[in-house]
Amino acid sequence: MNRRKSEWGAGRIPVALPEPRVGLDSDDELLQMLDLETGHRLAVIDLLSTIFSFETSRHVVVAGDRFGDVHMLTMLNRSSYVPPTTAVRLYLFDKGEWDRHLTGLCHWCGRRFVPEARIFDAIRSLTTNLDPQQAPCLTLHDEAFADPGLLAACPSCHGPLQFDPFEVDNRDRA
């Protein structure tokens, strides 16, 4: 995601990865992976030149140094964390209307996409026995949130995502 960028002298705020609690930070020539809650350093690499900027996309890190060299790094042995996403109908303020499609947000690349029909089929099968007055997010058990039928891959970056077993669509509400 292009916005995940930290430039030297800009405060060196850790850049959060989609993985919970894990972020990246640079300290002169060192690029480090941090536990954002404890501040503990999980991994470090010395690029032997002052790091000016870095970006992440999934498990790839690109860092630029003071000589203009670009370092491509791949993070290995990370957890198999799959970020959650929800099928949501957005209100498009610039058009003054509801989006025609429900979309999910990819937490790897930051893009929204229209889920495959099978995701909506899986949501319907998990919620079919619920009373219309019951909120699925409060009623469904953890197994429903981990249902393999809700696993998807972002069409842009192919990052794995787990859809929530419900939709958020307020288009027909008064």
In whole angstroms, give the CA distance from residue 112 to residue 104: 5
Q: Least distance to Zn ion from the beta carbon of 54, Å?
A: 19
Structure tokens at 97: 């209307």
Q: How many CA atoms lie within 13 A of 161 on its CB side?
A: 30
In whole angstroms, give the CA distance from residue 87 to residue 104: 5
- 156 counts as binding Zn ion under rule CB under 5 A: yes
Q: Give whichever of 36 and 157 is closer to Zn ion, judged by the CB atom.
A: 157
In whole angstroms, give the CA distance from residue 163 to residue 102: 12
Pure H helices in 1-160: 117-127, 136-139, 142-145
List the interface residues with Zn ion, window 104-133 (CB under 5 A): 106, 108-109
Number of residues counted as binding Zn ion (CB under 5 A) = 7
Q: Least distance to Zn ion from the beta carbon of 134, Å?
A: 32
Q: Least distance to Zn ion from the beta carbon of 99, Å?
A: 18
C-alpha angle 71-75-79 in degrees, rounded to nearest 5: 165
- Residue span binding Zn ion (CB under 5 A) among the ranges 36-44, 46-54, 101-109, 117-125: 101-109
Q: Give whichever of 87 and 140 is closer to Zn ion, judged by the CB atom.
A: 87
- 17 counts as binding Zn ion under rule CB under 5 A: no
The residues binding Zn ion (CB under 5 A) are: 106, 108-109, 154, 156-157, 159
